[in-house]
């Protein structure tokens, strides 16, 4: 079946469709020995000899989707010229497999790998608004005004940077801040927080869309389920309602006091027993009043002979104990 060359390269895991357009324009693709530069040219990878930089493009294998908890000190690349360990050494060898996006060498957390170029573009391109959530340990404790400034955005080296959502997770001498972005600008979280006076000492990506790194130790990986893949590809499924502009100040907590739902270490992903974005409910006490706001004393009307509150109240001594 004939397909556009951009789609062929994307499905083979060679390049995203946008990157394939650049490869075409540079004259690096040949079809049956002829150089092709026109966007929209079609070919049948099963029948035609399609090559990129002289290397033949093979029909893609079955798509593979992996999620990895990248440890600190591992490089997010397929090949490192300096010989440092890469994320490819932590996952099985699959033809065409590559990391989706990038985490710098000092950042740990959730990283996706696939051989499906179309999937990679859908997850990583800002126009699809797939949220990425990071936990950052910063120097000192940001004030509510600083949190609001991160949401409004700051200009760093002529580039406008802004977070979609920001909240203070823990505050002691230093703080843990949760930052949500949908773009993948270079070192965006670190540059944002440093620009407002709170340099980052530790950084961890805890989720992408509905995927959470929870349950994976550093260096461990697992395959995505078909439902997880479809959730990432579903249009508009990642958009969240805008936050309120008002930022409530959070009281400082002693080091031994943990917020409900958190794991034992501040660097771990937050646990939400009540679902994403919900606060844990009260500890089992439902109160003694019913939905109408009346207390349990209203039940005594059967014994005292009083009528319902909606009607006039009549005094009667019937049934009252004698003193």
Active-site positions read 104
- pLDDT number for residue 54: 93
The alpha carbons of the chain give a radius of gyration, in whole angstroms, of 28
CATH of the domain at 212: 3.30.2350.10
**Model's pTM, two decimal places?**
0.63
What is residue 139's DSSP assignment? S
pLDDT in tens, the chain (323 residues): 788 998 888 777 777 777 888 999 999 999 999 999 998 899 998 899 999 999 999 877 789 999 999 999 999 998 898 999 999 999 998 878 899 999 999 999 999 999 888 899 899 888 888 999 999 999 999 999 999 999 999 999 999 999 999 999 988 788 999 999 988 788 999 999 999 999 999 999 999 999 999 999 999 999 999 999 999 998 655 554 344 333 333 434 444 444 434 444 444 433 333 333 343 333 333 344 344 344 444 344 444 444 444 444 444 444 444 44
Whether 70 and 46 map to the same domain: the answer is no
Closest CA to 92 of 51, 47, 137, 61: 61
Please indicate, yes or no, whether residues 83 and 190 belong to a single structural domain of this protein: yes
Is residue 119 located within the same domain as residue 242? yes
Assigned domain for 247 exists:
yes
- Domain span at 235: 61-251
Predicted pLDDT of residue 272: 37
In a domain, 118, yes or no: yes
Task: State the total domains in the chain.
Answer: 2
**Torsion, Cα of 214, 121, 98, 37 (10° steps):** 180
Query: Are residues 51 and 107 located together in one domain of the fold?
Result: no
271 assigned to some structural domain? no
Are residues 29 and 69 both part of a single domain?
Answer: no
CATH code at 20? 3.10.290.10
Report the b/e string of 119-146 with b at 16+ CB within 10 A: bbbbbbbeebbbbbbbbbbbeebbeeeb
Domain end, chosen from 251, 278, 297, is at 251
């Amino acid at each position: 079946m004939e397909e556009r060359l951009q789609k062929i390269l994307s499905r083979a895991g060679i390049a995203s469709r946008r990157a394939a357009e650049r490869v075409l324009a540079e004259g690096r693709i040949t079809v049956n020995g002829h150089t092709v530069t026109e966007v929209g040219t079609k070919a049948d990878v099963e029948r035609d000899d399609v090559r990129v930089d002289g290397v033949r493009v093979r029909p893609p294998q079955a798509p593979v989707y992996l999620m990895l908890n990248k440890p600190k000190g591992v490089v997010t690349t397929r090949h490192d010229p300096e010989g440092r360990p890469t994320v490819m050494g932590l996952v099985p060898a699959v033809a065409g497999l590559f990391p989706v996006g990038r985490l710098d060498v000092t950042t740990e957390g959730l990283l996706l790998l696939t051989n499906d170029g179309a999937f990679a573009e859908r997850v990583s391109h800002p126009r699809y608004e797939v949220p990425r959530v990071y936990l950052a340990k910063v120097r000192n404790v940001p004030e509510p005004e600083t949190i609001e400034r991160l949401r409004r955005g700051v200009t760093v080296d002529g580039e406008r940077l802004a977070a979609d959502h920001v909240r203070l997770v823990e505050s002691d001498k230093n703080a843990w801040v949760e930052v949500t972005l949908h773009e993948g600008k270079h070192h965006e979280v670190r540059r944002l927080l440093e620009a407002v006076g709170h340099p980052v000492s530790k950084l961890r990506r805890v989720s992408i869309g509905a995927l959470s790194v929870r349950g994976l130790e550093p260096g461990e990986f697992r395959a995505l389920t078909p439902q997880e893949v479809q959730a990432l590809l579903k249009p508009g499924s990642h958009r969240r309602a805008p936050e309120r502009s008002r930022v409530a100040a959070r009281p400082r907590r002693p080091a031994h006091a943990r917020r409900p739902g958190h794991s034992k270490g501040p660097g771990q992903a937050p646990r939400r027993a009540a679902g994403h974005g919900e606060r844990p409910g009260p500890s089992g006490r439902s109160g003694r009043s019913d939905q109408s706001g009346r207390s349990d004393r209203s039940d005594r009307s059967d014994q005292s002979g009083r009528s319902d509150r909606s009607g006039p109240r009549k005094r009667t001594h019937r049934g009252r104990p004698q003193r």
